[in-house]
Amino acid sequence: MIGTYENRHETLAWSFTLICGYRATNRYFVRNLIAQNFAGTDVTDNIENTQRESGSAFLPKFDSKGLMSAIVQDATSGEILMFAFMNVDALEQTRKTGVAHFWSRSRGQLWQKGETSGNTLMVRHILVDCDQDALVLKVDPTGPACHTGERSCFYRELGADGLTRTT
């Protein structure tokens, strides 16, 4: 096994060039290629924790299905609006457009929040947790975040007698 992440990046980029005939020079692309194809293996597990936990490089850690958790929070009020999953494409589209995109596990496809309802989530900030395997999207919602029409998907509380509305 090659010792440093930089060397692994170059080795993977070189291998990709041989296989596909395309020179992979974009580090983000190569990191995502690693995440999608080698999740749970020592290729990603051996990236030094200090670099991921305290460095300035964005090294997203996707799970074995190529997903990471995303918590959506109202940037003004701090209210938690929803929870969803993001894959590489969702993360890239969100960063590119400033509108929240997610991966639908049930439909097996990328979706932009509000693409049919018009209730989009305009992303102000993306916070990354210490392990880089979860995100908080601080957003400005243009309408209800929940598909039920509620402002937040978290509109019920679990108590001793079951669920009660909180809003």
pLDDT at 5: 46
Between CA 143 and CA 157 the distance in angstroms is 22
The ranges of the chain with pLDDT < 50 are 1-7, 18, 44
pLDDT at 29: 60
Say if pTM beats, i.e. exceeds, 0.85: no
pLDDT at 80: 98
The amino acid occupying position 115 is E
Query: Domain limits of the chain?
Result: 5-54, 68-141
pLDDT at 50: 75
Beta pairing partners, 72: 82, 137
Query: Domain 68-141 maps to which CATH number in 3.10.20.810, 2.60.40.10, 3.40.50.10310, 3.40.50.12280?
Result: 3.10.20.810
